[in-house]
Structure 1
Amino acid sequence: MSAARPPIACLGAGRMGRGIAVAFAYAGHAVTMIDVKVRPADQFATLEAEALGEIRKTLASLARFGLLAANDADAIIARVSVVPAQNMATALAGAGMVFEGVPEVVELKREVLASASKCVGPDIIIASTTSTILVDDISGAVERPGRFLNVHWLNPAYLIPLVEISPGAATDPAVIAQVKALLEGIGKVPVVCAATPGFIVPRIQALAMNEAARMVEEGVASPEDIDKAIRYGFGFRYAVLGLLEFIDWGGGDILYYASRYLEGALDSDRYRAPEVISRNMREGRIGLRTGAGFLDYSGLDVDSYREQRLAELVNLLRHFGLARPPVLDRD
């Protein structure tokens, strides 16, 4: 195994462990999924067959999608193994990085992490994949917590590019850099966020999903039309322009006044703009037209930048089959 492709160990052989296994095995890493529950041999054999069967099924789907040749699946799945809990120490001895993916129970995670951290070298990075528990609530169970952090994957882990890295108070900055490099090496797009509830994506999507459900409840539109609006309006734009970039694109002042209107018209402070929007306006950080907003546009060729973003939107039109030639009246 190349030093650039360290062996990966997953604590747990459930959905998250299987998704991570596919992502790393696809990129050339050997992956060991470790069952964290001691169980009879026949029950373990069933788990092993289910885990490898699901991975094989996933690879077959990727082959149908054109991401690998059908005859490559055997070589990829050969990189994945499942071992019983009693073999944890042996399995972890050669791990280059460890991902914990057990159920969202603090005591269980602490127990598994404590055991695993005793079985690997002192410099081996250990990451939890928890989507709800803050890293510092479980880091105390890890020997040498400077090598511990949260790495939050979005399902399906083998397809979604984004991975959120959330370091703890004790996490060594060098560990963050190593994890970013490892993830980028398998084609992922890592971002770093503070250890706060909801990280980035779950926190934003919870607001959006609740608002969509609220509009159904209020009779604003049908579920089908709301989802159509999200696919072809909301999601369409934000696949090219990030949320903060979009604020700058139109201007923070537009968001400020729109927020004030919605707060009053709908009688809810959930639309109130945060103080940073007002502060940016006072400081003249309106966005593109002032050269700065949430992002810095100084020295940027704004016309070229706009052209590039518009071209990306046109590519999305083509992806959705909505790009049409103009209607021309010809004699």
Structure 2
Amino acid sequence: MANEQHPRVVAVGAGRMGRGIAIAFAYAGHRIALVDLRERSDEDWARLQAEAAAEIEGSLRGLSALGAIDAAQVGAIAERVVYVRASDAPAFLGAAELVFEGVPETMAAKRDAFAQLNLHCSDEAILTSTTSSILVTQLASLVRRPERFLNIHWLNPAYVIPVVELSCHPGTDPAVLARAKALLEAIGKLPVVCGASPGYIVPRLQALVMNEAARMIEEGAATAEEIDKATRYGLGLRFAALGVVEFIDFGGCDILHHASREMSASLSPERYAAPAIVERMVSEGRLGLKTGNGFYDYAGRDVAAYRADVLTRTLGMLRHAGLWQPPADQSVS
């Protein structure tokens, strides 16, 4: 194994996230090393390797069953994943350009993992953590070259969901961020960048929605089935056609302002009070599309063409959901 050409990409930690990342890169044609840093007996290592290989092949066969890939491609894709036990890890880490740390979500486990990465990875390697809960600013101090470090948070299943969230600390080299984005884009991912803030973007937004859904069930406001119908074909369909901030501008920041005021008074000021930025934008007359400026600047934009584009996106989602109906042939009495 040591004499083979080592992959440029390494996923450290052979659990669910590491396996998903491995599929994503292998699917895009890249060889990737799935590295286990824990010393194990031959029997335990063979068991872990077999388990990881079975899950990766099973996931690919699942894609094949849905027509996403040909059955004949499953084996070739799976073979691009190289399984590496702890004793062989130094050579693979030393050859890596991009490393994804995906060990358990404890500072102790992260500290141990980065101690080994610091020891074996080259000075030019980009080191990342896939953590969903620990801030990049907390982890940067564990890295020998913090300017080459950032968090890269994947959304499950990692090989299906295109968005990958990149979180930088103040010392992250902009060139490193640009290179990480380019490597992800090259495998068909859509990187989005955020600061060192708890919850990144997607988990922070979805936690609010999920908690409010559970609260509505608790209050008896609606059943789980009705909430899911409303979110799949109302909330979700609209936000699949428009981004959340784009949606604010499209309807008007004043609409959000008034809705927040009413629900803050009737439900909970802690949950529904509008943030200061919304109050400020309304007072300044920056209401969005209808005033030419909001979170986005619409100066010089063909508003009619933009509205048509939004309608096209929405109709596309309706047709995809099988909910678009043609007009009636005759009047209904």
Q: Which piece of structure 1 moves more, 113-122 or 44-53?
A: 113-122
Q: Secondary structure at the match of 1:260?
A: helix
- Give the CA deviation at 1:219: 0.2
Q: 1:266 to 1:96 in 2, by over 3 A?
A: same
Q: CA deviation at 1:36?
A: 1.7
For residues 20-169 of structure 1, what are the structure 2 equivalents within 5 Å?
20-169=21-170
Instruction: Output the CA distance in 1 between the equivalents of 2:269 and 2:301.
Output: 38
The answer to whether the aligner puts 1:323 opposite 2:324 as a matched pair is yes
In the alignment, residue 283 of structure 1 is paired with which amino acid?
Answer: E
Distance 1:328-1:99 versus aligned 2 partners, 3 A rule: same
In structure 2, what is the equivalent of residue 282 of structure 1?
283
Equivalent residue for 1:251? 252
Q: Distance in 1 between the 2:268 and 2:212 partners?
A: 14
| 8 Å contact from structure 1 (residues 111, 141) kept in 2 | no
SS for the counterpart of 2:177 is: helix
Distance in 1, Cα, partners of 2:279 & 2:268:
20
Counterpart of 2:241 in 1: which secondary structure?
Answer: coil
**Residue matched to 2:173:** 172
Give the secondary-structure state (helix, strand or coil) at the position aligned to 1:28.
coil
CA distance in 1, matches of 2:27, 2:192: 22
Deviations 1:96-134 (A, max 9, x none): 210000010111111111211221210110100000001
Q: Secondary structure in 1 aligned to 2:218? A: helix
Moved over 6 A (4+): none
CA distance in 1, matches of 2:182, 2:242: 25
Deviation at 1:182, TM superposition (A): 0.7
Take 1:137 and 1:15, find their aligned partners in 2: how far apart are those partners? Answer: 23
Is the 8 Å Cα contact of residues 288 and 297 (structure 1) preserved in structure 2? yes
Q: Counterpart amino acid of 2:261?
A: R
Please give the secondary structure, in 2, of the residue aligned with 1:239: helix
CA-CA distance at 1:77 after TM superposition: 1.1
Secondary structure of residue in 1 paired with 2:285: coil
* Structure 2 residue aligned with 1:213: 214
Match of 1:182 in 2: 183
Paired with 1:306 and 1:271, the residues of 2 have a C-alpha distance of 29
Q: Give 1:267 shift.
A: 4.2
Letter in 1 for 2:325: R
CA distance in 2, matches of 1:219, 1:266: 14
In 1, the alpha carbon distance for the partners of 2:213 and 2:32 equals 39
- Spell out the pairing of 1:199-210 with structure 2 (5 A cutoff): 199-210=200-211
Could you tell me how far 1:93 is from its partner in structure 2?
2.2
State the AA in 2 paired with 1:54: E
The answer on 1:228 being equivalent to 2:229 is yes
Which whole-Å CA distance do the structure 2 matches of 1:64 and 1:299 have between them? 48
1:292 aligns with 2:299: no
Percent of aligned positions with the same letter in both sequences?
A: 52
- In the other structure, the counterpart of 1:193 is 194
Q: Is the 8 A contact 2:8 2:98 kept in 1?
A: yes
Where 2:40 maps in the other structure, the secondary structure is coil
Q: Distance in 1 between matches of 2:268 and 2:312?
A: 39
Taking only aligned residues, the RMSD between alpha carbons, in angstroms, comes to 1.3
Q: 1:24–1:31: 8 Å Cα contact kept in structure 2? A: yes
**3-state SS in 2 of match to 1:299:** coil
Summarize deviations over 1:34-90 as a string: whole Å, max 9, x none.
112111000100000010111001111111222221111111111101111121101
CA 1:138/1:269 → structure 2, altered by over 3 Å: closer, same or farther?
closer
Does the aligned pair in 2 maintain the 1:88–1:116 contact within 8 Å?
Answer: no
Alignment size in residue pairs: 326
**Contact 1:7–1:97 (CA<8 Å) still a contact in 2?**
yes
2:262 counterpart residue number = 261
By how many angstroms is 1:297 displaced?
A: 1.1
TM-score (norm. length: structure 2): 0.95
In 2, the alpha carbon distance for the partners of 1:325 and 1:111 equals 61
Cα contact 2:97–2:124 (8 A) shared by 1? no
Q: Conserved in 2, the CA contact under 8 Å of 1:59 and 1:73?
A: yes
288-297 or 267-276, larger mean C-alpha shift: 267-276
CA deviation vs aligned residue, 1:209-260 (integer Å, no higher than 9, x gap): 1100000000000000001110011100000111111111110011101111
**Preserved contact between residue 167 and residue 193 of structure 1 (Cα < 8 Å):** yes
Q: 3-state SS of the aligned residue for 2:128?
A: strand
Structure 1 segments unaligned to the other structure (5+ residues): 1-5
